[in-house]
Amino acid sequence: MAKSNIVAMTGNEAMAEAMRQINPDVVAAYPITPATEIVQIFAGFVADGLVDTEFVPVESEHSAMSACIGSSAAGGRTITSTSSQGLALMAEMLYIAGGLRLPIVLADVNRTLSGPLNIHCDHSDTMMVKDSGWIQIFSENAQEAYDNMVQAVRIAETARVPVIITTDGFIISHGMERIEILDDSEVKGFVGEYKPEHYLLNFDKPVTLGALDLPDYYFEHKRQQIEAMKESKPIIIDVGKKFGKISGRTYGFFEEYKMDDAELAIIAMGSTAGTAKVVVGNLRDKGLKAGLLKLRVFRPFPKDEIADALKDLKAVGVLDRSDSMNGEEGPLCLEVKSAIFDKGAKTIVLNYVYGLGGREIKLDDIESIYNDLFDAVKGKPKDRVTYMGVRE
Amino acid sequence: MKDLIEIRWHGRGGQGAKTAALLFADAALSSGKYVQAFPEYGPERMGAPVTSFNRLSSKPILRHSGVANPDVVIVLDPTLMETVDVMEGMNDDGIVVINTTKTPNEIRKEFSIMAGIKIFTVDASTISKEAINKDIPNTPMLGALIKATGILDFKAMLEETRIKLESKFKSRPEIVEGNIKAIERAYNEVKS
């Protein structure tokens, strides 16, 4: 019977489905809201014999990442999933996975960090580990969550840099949408067979991983890691193009939505970018030259490319769904400002910290940002950072 | 009909408001439309007021904000109307479908619902009890929703729901048959 490739899936179901088609050697994971379903569904695939994966249920996220590091170092294609406190508990091991250049893939469902205790969406968890040596890719919707997971395996293994794919907690993880999935054989062909160059179980070419690395060599190794992150950029672009050939959906560092003649734009990551597209459409209907830059790849940071995309704009609003607790701008805005500064551009940049702990962001909220930008261009002074929808 | 239709389901934890939204999404998908289904985010408790949502369109749905101004509201438990403003934010020419033994006119008077809003009622709890021996009114309300709005083809929806239920209740065909009967009955018995 011919199976339709158009399905209704939640973000979590879509990520688990991608994992089934990837059929990794090892999945080691510990459940946490709102990412629980990903491993729960995948454990079902293992129990039903639909995958060949060795599933390792562990007692904590620290152990989950430790097991993933062991498995990846041994030469196995390895995937895990977590969220929020789970990612925080993994943090120590994330740096080790990055430093050892192990191509692990992690599905992170964005949820805020306690305290106060809260299980809802923001990007604090992902931002907390932005410097851990993992590529970070954000998904707008369930379709992108699926597409990004499939691409992540190939990006990680080619760049030999681990990859985090994120979705927005509950909004995407628990929201069901129409998505298009690839055939099993297409995904199998796309990810190919994993052939690591160095691995612990290669007895013909023995290696040591994770040895003591003192001031005489540590810096050289970190320098190589930095270079690997830089060199992952053309790999991400190449994989995004090749994915486009099998799916019709090509991916880059970011999506430029109605940016060609835009005078003002906002920059956003994750599900809010979709909502912003509706606002841009409404403003365009009124004849206003509004655009959107949806950032997909936050690590490595596509600095020159962003500066180039923004160079003709009069004003930019940067949406941060987390705060850097420096008393000033959020993490995304700081990096966008540095990109613009290095090019000597005079673009007005306003920062909007929004949606912390799952605070709703509506069409009106986003429209008010564009209104601010129009005002700013006319010379009206605006706050450097605005906290959207906060009672003060 | 509008290009984007937004639906809000009101129920109590355990009544299947989330499942109804998911079943609706599956049925809508098979009709070639774009659809979203999502629950009220957060922990659910048995008996507590809960909401779930659908969006339906012939074009890709980009927005991921909550549904603030629904075109259609479905109420799985009429006692909710005493404590929750189920009409909140509703569009002036909206449609409300309520699981109750009362008539639309009685409901309109009791809750002073304005004239522009179309009210439909059906005794989905009795239908559910007679069909599956349990008061889980979500599936019959699907039938009532389709009759009240005409937004999906009824036969196609019934077939898609049957497929979904069959995969969920593999070893219990009586549950599948009971639910299908309940949907058909509610479709035929809904009052306007």
Spell out the domains of chain B, with CATH numbers in brackets: 4-189 (3.40.920.10)
Query: What is the reported pLDDT for B97?
Result: 97
pLDDT above 90 covers a percentage of chain B that reads 78
CB spacing of A176 vs B34 below 8 angstroms = no
Q: How far is CA A342 from each of CA A235, A304, A306, A338, B31, rounded to the nearest angstrom?
A: 25, 9, 11, 6, 51
Structure tokens at A179: 């998505």
- A120–B38 C-beta distance less than 8 A: no
List of chain A residues whose C-beta atoms are within 8 Å of the C-beta of residue B43 = 119
Q: Which of A120, A176, A277 sits opposite B36 (nearest CB)?
A: A176
Q: Cα separation of A131 and B191, whole Å? A: 61
* Chain B residues near residue A275 by CB distance under 8 angstroms: 62-65
Under-70 pLDDT residues of chain A: 1-4
Number of Cβ within 10 Å of residue A176's Cβ equals 27
Given the candidates 1.10.287.3510, 3.40.50.300, 3.40.50.2300, 3.40.50.920, the CATH classification of the domain at A254-387 is: 3.40.50.920
Looking at residue A3, what is its pLDDT?
53
- Predicted local distance difference test score (pLDDT) of residue A181: 97
Q: Which residues from chain B sit within 8 angstroms of residue A175, using beta carbons? A: 36-38, 64
Report how far residue A96's alpha carbon sits from residue A66's, in angstroms, rounded to the nearest whole number: 9
Q: Which residues of B touch A144 (CB under 8 A)?
A: none
CA–CA gap between residue A366 and residue A347 (Å, rounded):
19
Contact present, A269 and A138 (Cβ < 8 Å):
yes
- Give the domain A6-247 fold: Rossmann fold (3.40.50)
Residues of A with CB under 8 A from a CB of B: 6-8, 119-121, 141, 168, 170-172, 174-178, 271-272, 274-275, 277-278, 358, 360-363
- With CB atoms and an 8 Å threshold, state whether B65 touches A360: yes
Q: What is the pTM of this model?
A: 0.96
- Which residues in chain B land under pLDDT 70? 1, 41-44
Identical fold for domains A6-247 and A254-387, yes or no, is: yes
Nearest residue on chain B to A177, alpha-carbon basis? B36
Nearest-Cα distance to chain B for A33, in Å, is 10
| Confidence at residue B14, expressed as pLDDT on a 0 to 100 scale | 85
Query: For A298-301, which contacts have Cβ atoms below 8 Å and span 24 or more sequence positions?
Result: A298/A126, A298/A130, A298/A136, A298/A137, A298/A138, A298/A269, A298/A332, A299/A130, A299/A134, A299/A135, A299/A136, A299/A229, A300/A135, A300/A229, A300/A230, A300/A232, A300/A233, A300/A236, A301/A335, A301/A339
Closest in B22, B25, B64 to A275, CB measured: B64
In the prediction, which pLDDT does B41 show?
65
CA B43 to chain A, closest CA, distance in angstroms equals 9
Q: State how far Cα B18 lies from the chain centre.
A: 10
Mean pLDDT, chain B, integer: 92
Q: Are B46 and B14 in contact (CB under 8 A)?
A: yes
List C-alpha distances in Å: A101 to A25, A160, A231, A298, B140: 18, 5, 13, 18, 55
Beta bridge partners of A109: A167
pLDDT at A2: 42
Chain A residue nearest residue B19, CA to CA: A176
